[in-house]
Amino acid sequence: MSLPPILDAPVGRGNQEDMLKERRFNGIPPVGNNPVDNKWKLLLFVLIVFMVKIAFWTAYRWACGNVYPLTDYEVRTWVSVFAKPILQLGPVFPLWWFLFKEKGMPFRFTKKNLFTSVVLGCLMALIFYFVSRGVYVVQMMIRGEGSDFAFIAGWDDSALTFSVIMALMFTFMLSTGPAEELFSRGFLQDQLSRSYSVTTAILISSVLFAVGHLPISILVYQLSFETIMWYMVVLVIMGVFFSLMYHWSRNIVFPIIIHGLWDWYLSLMILKGAYPTEFLLHYHENFGMTDLINTVATLMIIGPMIFLLYKVFWQQPVREKACEEAPKNEGPIAGAMRAVRRLDAGRWKEMHFDLSFLPDNLAKNINKNFWPYVTVIAVTGLFCMAMLPLAEVIGTNDPEKMKDRPSDGPWTQIVEEHDNFHDVFQGAVQESDYTEYTLGGVNITATNISISFTWTDEEPTPSHYINDPDTFELVIFGPNGNQVASDTGSGGSIELSWAGMEGFENSGTVIIRIKLTNAGDMHPRINPGGLLTKEDTSNSYEITIIHDTTTYVEEPLPEPHVVW
């Protein structure tokens, strides 16, 4: 009993002659002619290419967050159309030629399965997106954490002009999809599979695919560590999915189209809903978990569909058999499938542009090498344009549904305010009594508080008297009402600080309490029986409070649905 092709171990030395004999590549082996005698050396070379690429990409992502005009979203989107393929794929070529010592292209381009890759890629991308959105809706309803979902027509938002939407389409379809798939699948996965099993190559390339998204996560989006971890898990799973699509079709166009269209749909039609306030307050964990569940469930549904395409259209014996003459009793669906297969088998390759106005050699070269890919761009471009009216029909222009919002009332708008204070107060307090200072309202989260508290004892009267030192107690009560920091002193000053946790779970009023625990009395140096003691019942002070706060103010709104 033989293993499925994906589990096959490499046979031979990884050159073209040996790889063409391996059934796991289905007649389309990775590029590369030099024998691979050491798999660890190959892995090292692949990792070097990845590190060089990530260095260029990190510098670009840093510039996007810090260098004008790249900080402008629309400018950055248009620049990305050219920057992504140049920075992600450009470093691969010299390393392929001088490190690997290979010739030609570091990626495999083939017309094999090209027709079905284009047609089925567009179809599966559409199914993929709507299955994912459906899974998301069902998941949130089952969990009881959302309702009133609506697709958003993205270009109706003030931040997404028609120019930005077009820039996003070109970026995703001409840059993001091709650059990421050619690098992660066409290079990393293919080259690793020359000396490793396809399973190992898929796993390693998928992890590197996820790591490649760290620069934008940290430098542009500035995501929290917890959110990045959720994001990495989702990206590894998606990387495995795209890798399987490439392995089954053996044409990089198929995952390119689905990848590009998936990102395009995400920018065009965003699914928003109403959530319990508690869900929104812990969004790092809740949305990360929701995204992971949605990814796994969607791929469990869509994965078998892709595998069925592999069995019907791309598995070698089936393809050959499918190109035979159709039986007379064949139904219309089977006939259409056979016609598609036959286009892939030969007629697709025979099609050409009428370029009689050009010199014969030039026209022949264009028809042989370029027109299929021009057609791919044209078909997917028209497909994207067709999505605009679709999003307009199923999307919403309601501004109240354009953002996530609480669903459990009271219907309020939660406004986040950041403040920096350096306050100086003067006052006096009676012995055994206290004075309190309140920072913020009921929804304050104090992130950092630094207090400098000073006082000066009164000059003794008369001058030959001695004034015992006053003793003060300084206490900070956190948002939950518990004492979080305190100190007592009699030397004229107290320094106290507290760093609070940021988050709604710590919301509440922060109180600073000043208590005069003992007001030192005045008495002469010789005071028999304490008869000459002069009682001191109060003292003055000065307190300096430095604090950074985040305040969440709940403001009632007249409408039943609110923007969070």
Using one digit for the tens of pLDDT, what is the confidence trace for 466-488?
A: 778 888 899 988 776 778 888 99
Task: Please give the Cα distance from 298 to 296 (Å, whole number).
Answer: 6
Q: Which residue has the tokens 């985040």?
A: 550
Mapped to the 3 state alphabet, what secondary structure does 57-93 carry?
HHHHHHHHHHCCCCCCHHHHHHHHHHHHHHHHHCCHH
Q: What is the 3-state secondary structure (H, E, C) of 329-366?
A: CCCHHHHHHHHHHHHHHHHHHHCCCCCCCCCHHHHHHH
pLDDT of residue 505: 46
SS3 277: helix
Residue 16 in this model has a pLDDT that exceeds 80:
yes
Ordered alpha helix ranges (H), 444-526? none
pLDDT band at 140 (very low <50, low <70, confident <90, very high): confident
pLDDT in tens, 183-206: 999 999 999 999 999 999 999 999
Measured in degrees and rounded to the nearest 5, phi and psi for residue 360 equal: -55, -45
Task: Assess whether pLDDT exceeds 60 at residue 2.
Answer: no
Per-residue confidence (pLDDT) for residue 161, from 0 to 100? 74
Tokens of 472: 């003060």
Closest among 339, 328, 201, 180 to 263, alpha carbons compared:
180
Per-residue pLDDT band for 352 (boundaries 50, 70, 90) equals: low
Give the residue extent of every domain in the chain: 5-314+352-406, 412-522+534-556
178 versus 388: the higher-pLDDT residue is 178
CB-based contacts of 412: which residues, under 8 Å, 6+ apart?
A: 406, 554, 555, 556, 557, 562
Query: Using 50, 70 and 90 to split pLDDT, how confident is the model at 561?
Result: very low
Q: Of 216-220, 281-285, 424-428, which gets the smallest average pLDDT?
A: 281-285
Mean pLDDT within 131-157: 78
**What's the pLDDT score for residue 298?**
94
Q: Write down the pLDDT at residue 276.
A: 77
* b/e map 247-282, b = 16+ CB within 10 Å: bbbbbbbbbbbbbbbbbbbebbbbbbbbbebebbbe
CA 179 to chain centre: 18
Highest mean pLDDT among 20-24, 110-114, 183-187, 499-503: 183-187
Instruction: Specify burial of residue 339 (Cβ count, 10 A radius: 0-12, 13-18, 19+).
Output: exposed
- CATH of span 412-522+534-556: 2.60.120.380
* Residue with the larger pLDDT of the pair 133 and 484: 133
Q: CA–CA separation, 31 vs 40, rounded Å? A: 19
Among the ranges given (69-78, 335-344, 455-464), the one the predictor scored with the smallest mean pLDDT: 335-344
> Which is more confident, 212 or 9?
212
Lowest mean pLDDT among 187-191, 444-448, 457-461: 444-448
* Residue that the structure tokens 């956190």 belong to: 478
Number of other CB atoms surrounding residue 227 within 10 Å: 18
Mean pLDDT of the chain: 80
Q: Average pLDDT for residues 319-342, to the nearest whole number?
A: 61
Beta-strand relationship, 510-518 and 434-439: antiparallel
Strand, coil or helix: what is 420?
strand
- Report how far residue 221's alpha carbon sits from residue 228's, in angstroms, rounded to the nearest whole number: 10
Q: What is the DSSP string of 285-338?
A: HHHHHHHHHHHHHHHHHHHHHHHHHIIIIISHHHHHHHTSPPPTT--HHHHHHH
Least confident among 250-264, 315-329, 499-513: 315-329
Q: So what's the pLDDT on residue 400? A: 72
Report the pLDDT averaged over residues 314-332: 59
**What pLDDT is recorded for position 518?**
83
pLDDT at 343 > cutoff 80: no
Phi/psi at 452 (5° precision): -120, 110
Q: For the segment 43-82, what is each residue's pLDDT rounded down to a tens digit? A: 999 999 999 999 999 999 889 878 888 888 788 888 988 9
Half-sphere exposure of 267 (CA within 13 A, CB side): 23
Whole-model pTM: value is: 0.69
Encoded tokens for 308 = 């069925």
- For the cut 70, the answer to whether the pLDDT of residue 375 exceeds it is yes
State the Cα–Cα distance between residues 218 and 516, nearest whole angstrom. 48
- Percent of the chain whose predicted confidence (pLDDT) is above 70: 77
The most confident of the ranges 86-95, 361-370, 421-430, 432-441 is 86-95
Q: At residue 260, what is the residue type?
A: G
Is the predicted pLDDT of residue 11 greater than 50, yes or no? yes
Question: H/E element holding 383?
Answer: helix 371-394
| 177: helix, strand or coil | helix
Q: Is the pLDDT of residue 556 over 80?
A: no
Residues 83-113 as b or e (16 or more Cβ within 10 Å = b): bbbebbbebbeebbeeebebeeebbbeebbb
CA 205/CA 183 separation, integer angstroms: 9
- Per residue in 518-529, pLDDT (tens digit) is 887 777 766 676
Q: What is the C-alpha separation between 2 and 8, in angstroms, rounded? A: 9
Half-sphere exposure of 64 (CA within 13 A, CB side): 24
Query: Would you say residue 271 has pLDDT above 80?
Result: yes
